[in-house]
A and B are shown apart, each in its own frame.
Chain A
Amino acid sequence: MVASKRYPLQQTSVGTLAVRAGVLAIAAFVIVGPLASLGVWSVAERWTHGSAWPQRFGLRYWTRMLSSDFLEPLRLGVTIAVIVTVLALVLAIPLGYALARLNVPGRTGVLLLFLLPQAFPQLPVFASATREFYRWGLAGTVPGVVLVHLVGGLVFAVWTMTAVFRSIGRDLEEAAWDLGASTTRAFATIALPLALPGLVASAVLVFLYSLDEFTGTLLVGAPFVTTLPVYMYTASVGYELQIASVTAIVLMAPGALLLLLLERFLKSEYLVFFGQL
């Protein structure tokens, strides 16, 4: 009795398992396949046309990259990203707080204004920025690239900081005001510490955006500012596929790490922003 009752149940669970394994295999091939080929390319010392697999493997390109060529773009990219992150947050904290708390007239308008460049093609905007920058002597300089990244980074930062401040109830701050704290003091001792996790998430977003930003850097930074994505592009177009693959893996690493660590903590509205990197 028991066995006959269990039998169909077991059968479906085996079937379900098989389906799950099948779907997982397809998803893994589709998603991981291209990324894995980066890994294969990065250790392929010799892979001639027409061959299905590299003829010789080795870490030569990794050691070469990590010792010389690659360190300068990495250092420059990280420096720019740190400056952009600090500046964006310094601007976005008061701005986000104001947008979340105060009845600023045209609040929706301001938020929409920030979103507009994301929804429309960015390249023409970068092109006209480059032209203006030539006039001011900013084209091809690090401050020029910082400025371009800052405009994009502010979008992420203001949006997330507004959401963060909005999610913090205002009763605690009101209690502080009742006890005689000034607006600034209530903000500094109550709202800001409560917003810290969101602040960190926002900082990480802006940092990654700046590190991975390609189009604006290519236009404004050319030919003197070479960050990692630009370096990778130059290598890939010059058919130095191994060098490009090593760079690609390094570029992907922070994002992948973040996905693994923060998937549980990041809200989906933040995740949407990553689609634009």
Chain B
Amino acid sequence: MVASFTRDGALTLANYGTVWRLYTRDVVYTVAVAAAGTLLTFAVAIPACGWLRARAFGPVEFLLKVPLFVPFVVVGHALRVFLSPYVPALASSWAGIALALAWKHLGLAALLLLGAFRSVDESYLEAGRNFGASTPRLTRDILVPMAAPALAVSAILIFSSMLASFSIPLMMGRGSGPQMLMIDVYYRFGQHGDFATASALGVVAYLLAMGAALVYARRLTAS
């Protein structure tokens, strides 16, 4: 942290200047990939968990939790070999990274969402069903609004985790073009030996994670 403000022993903002010059595109890219991954995770997890809330079905619930136990590096490699023979373009692109991140976080999302959905009182669902509402309808109009705070917390947790992800982009990334921030930190530090700029990049990543939390806190106090 302190190192990000010093260069050759002097206090300076030059490191942030370097970040601004070289990495603005990567910051945008990282936020975009993390946002896409979060959206994808929830696009799958919300209907799946709504369905599971309405009718418990063990095998599917079990499958959804499997990614929790698969380490990040293994996910990166697995998605890489899964995609590369069939859709090689996807295996090493931003979409591939987002897909792998979403796959890994599906377990966490399912765990958190199922907990939140199950704490919604059964009587609301009964009432909805009596009016003939289908499961997707129940999910959209009852479960999601009532579990909104928990949903927001899980979304922020997952978003910051994706921002900070290192091993999945490392396994699936390409040599050229924009990179995820953690990859930049790694190469700045590991290959250029430039700890100061690496720290500045790290601080930027912290701020982004904190920014997400702040947006959430703002919305909480506003409503």
- Asked if B82 is at the interface of the complex by the 8 Å CB criterion, the answer is yes
Find chain B residues with CB under 8 A from A255 CB: 69-71
Cross-chain contact A233 with B73 (CB below 8 angstroms) = yes
A32 CB contacts on chain B under 8 angstroms? 63, 66
Contact indicator A38/B85 (Cβ below 8 Å)? no
Q: Are B48 and A124 in contact (CB under 8 A)?
A: no
Q: How far is the CA of A33 from the CA of B67 in the complex (A)?
A: 12
Q: How many residues of A contact B (CB 8 A)?
A: 57
Evaluate whether A232 and B74 lie within 8 angstroms (CB atoms) in the complex, with A34-B82, A51-B85 already known. Answer: yes
Which residues in window 13-44 of B have CB below 8 A to A?
44
Which A residues are CB-close (under 8 A) to B163? 121
Contact A123 B164 (CB under 8 A): yes
A22-42 residues at the B interface, CB under 8 angstroms: 23-24, 27-28, 30-35, 37-38, 41
**CB-CB < 8 A to A215: which residues of B?**
166-167
Contact of A23 among B57, B171, B189 (CB under 8 A): B57
**A272 located at the interface, meaning its Cβ lies under 8 Å from any Cβ of chain B in the complex:** yes
CB contacts under 8 Å to B, within A120-135, are: 120-125, 127-128, 130-131
Name the segment of B139-147, B193-201, B214-222 touching the other chain.
B193-201
Contact yes or no, B167 A214, CB < 8 A: yes
Contact A123 to B71, CB < 8 A, known contacts A35-B78, A233-B170: no
Pick out which of these stretches binds chain B: A148-156, A179-187, A245-253.
A245-253
**Per-residue CB proximity of A237-269 to B under 8 Å, as 1/0?**
100010011001001100110110001000010
Interface assignment of B182: CB less than 8 Å from any CB of chain A? yes
- B112 CB, nearest partner CB in chain A, Å: 8
Q: How far does the Cβ of B5 sit from chain A's closest Cβ, in whole Å?
A: 14
**Is the beta-carbon distance between B73 and A20 smaller than 8 angstroms?**
no
Given A124-B202, A128-B199, answer yes or no on A252-B85 (Cβ-Cβ < 8 Å): no
Report whether over half of chain B's contact residues are helix, strand or loop; otherwise say mixed. helix
- List residues 152-205 of chain B with CB under 8 A from any CB of chain A: 157, 160-161, 163-164, 166-167, 170-171, 181-182, 185-186, 189-190, 195, 198-199, 201-203, 205
B65 contacts A by Cβ under 8 Å: yes
| Contact call A241/B107, Cβ cutoff below 8 A | no
Known: A27-B63, A259-B69, A274-B68. A127 touches B202 (CB 8 A): yes
Q: How far is the CB of A166 from the nearest CB of chain B, in Å?
A: 19
B74 touches A120 (CB 8 A): no
Who on chain A is nearest to B103 by CB?
A34
Q: How far is the CA of A164 from the CA of B204 in the complex (A)?
A: 37
Contact across chains for A120 and B164 when beta carbons are under 8 A apart? yes
Q: Is the CB of A38 within 8 A of B81?
A: yes
8 Å CB contact of A121 from B51, B64, B65, B164: B164
Question: Which residues on A sit within 8 Å (CB–CB) of B70?
Answer: 35, 252, 255, 277
| Residues of A contacting B78 in the complex (Cβ-Cβ under 8 angstroms) | 34-35, 37-38, 248
Q: How far is the CA of A127 from the CA of B185 in the complex (A)?
A: 8
A112 interface residue per 8 A CB criterion: no
CB distance from A272 to the nearest CB of B (A): 6
Judged by a CB distance under 8 angstroms, whether B53 is at the interface is no
The reply to whether B72 and A214 contact each other, CB–CB distance below 8 Å, is: yes
**Are B81 and A245 touching (Cβ within 8 A)?**
yes
Check A248–B65 contact: CB distance below 8 A: no
Do A219 and B67 touch (CB < 8 A)?
A: no
B residues contacting A by CB (< 8 A) are 3, 44, 48, 51, 55, 57, 59-60, 62-82, 85-86, 103, 105-108, 111-112, 115, 157, 160-161, 163-164, 166-167, 170-171, 181-182, 185-186, 189-190, 195, 198-199, 201-203, 205-206, 209
A-B pairs, 5 with minimum CB distance: A124-B202, A121-B164, A255-B69, A275-B108, A212-B71
- Beyond A27-B48, A123-B185, A277-B70, 13 additional contacts (C-beta under 8 Å) are A23-B57, A23-B60, A31-B106, A34-B78, A35-B70, A127-B186, A127-B199, A128-B195, A233-B77, A236-B171, A252-B74, A259-B68, A275-B111
